[in-house]
Structure 1
Amino acid sequence: MPDAMTRLPDGQPILRVVPMPADVNPQGDVFGGWIMAQVDVAGALPAMRRARGRVTTVAVNSFLFKQPVSVGDLVSFYADVVDTGRTSMRVRVEVYAERHPAQPITVKVTEAVLTYVAINQHGEKRELPEID
């Protein structure tokens, strides 16, 4: 049962999107693979900012689908780097759906942690730059 008291996190989402009819399965729920692809895009954005360049996804450490997503939901992705190593970083992504505009509710639909590695123009690992 969705919690009608859920609120969006503070700050701006890194990505917002509305799924379309082509993104759903025969039961009318958005494909999990579509959500996973959007999570990867959202997670890559703070990873690229931290790496100051190209990154590649090397692992999906955890991925939890909490609620289905439907056509017409406004889906917001919040992502932050939560840990860094020499060449890699872990990014936490939280996904919320705002639904039913006439009686709006917000629900957390997905949470994930992915690992990205900084790469150079040849696709080889490179060290993360120092933080200014």
Structure 2
Amino acid sequence: MSEAYTKPEGILSLQTIAMPADTNWSGDVFGGWIVSQMDLAGAIHAERFSRGRCATISINQMTFLVPVKVGFVISCYTKILKVGNTSIQMQIEVWDSHDDSRAPIRITEGVFTFVAVDVQRQQTSDS
């Protein structure tokens, strides 16, 4: 996933702005906040795809490439990599697009797995 490229892969699933309340003790946006945005974006895509409730079962890979600063407009792009009987594996990229004077910057990437669940939160078919 870490090969050099200059535009996001997948569909835009979530966009938000990093706020002062999202920072760690060093003044950078807390990594856990980024992960939660990625999880939300992946869940949105997984639930649209499966037409039902989904739950995150694993984060298979996660790479933080660039620190996120307050004011960054982060865009989460999602791309389905693999569909199983009850699971969806998804690539999720986070890009910063707050500065129109330069190209967007890929700041974080990961691979998440979601599983389809029913109303009792039991694993079910994703189709």
Alignment TM-score, normalising by the size of structure 1: 0.85
Instruction: Mark the structure with the bigger radius of gyration.
Output: 1
Q: Which residue of 2 aligns with 1:69?
A: 68
Residue 11 of structure 1 and its aligned partner are, at CA, apart by: 7.1
How many positions carry a matched residue from both structures? Answer: 123
Q: Is the 8 A contact 1:99 1:105 kept in 2?
A: no
Measure the CA separation in 2 of the matches of 1:79 and 1:10. 7
Q: Give the gaps of 5 or more residues in structure 1.
A: 1-5
User: Hey, which bits of structure 1, 4+ residues long, moved more than 6 A?
Assistant: none
Measure the CA separation in 2 of the matches of 1:120 and 1:13. 26
Q: Give the gaps of 5 or more residues in structure 2.
A: none
1:14 counterpart SS class:
strand
Measure the CA separation in 2 of the matches of 1:88 and 1:10. 21
Measure the CA separation in 2 of the matches of 1:105 and 1:23. 24
Q: Which residue of 2 aligns with 1:120?
A: 118
Spell out, residue by residue over 1:84-114, the C-alpha distance to the aligned partner (whole angstroms, 9 max, x if none).
111011011011012445x434211000110
Matches within 5 A, 1:29-108: 29-100=28-99, 103-108=101-106
Sequence identity of aligned pairs in percent?
37
Letter matched to residue 40 of structure 2: V
Q: In angstroms, what is the RMSD of aligned CA positions?
A: 1.7
Measure the CA separation in 1 of the matches of 2:124 and 2:29. 36
Measure the CA separation in 1 of the matches of 2:84 and 2:9. 27
Measure the CA separation in 1 of the matches of 2:7 and 2:95. 7
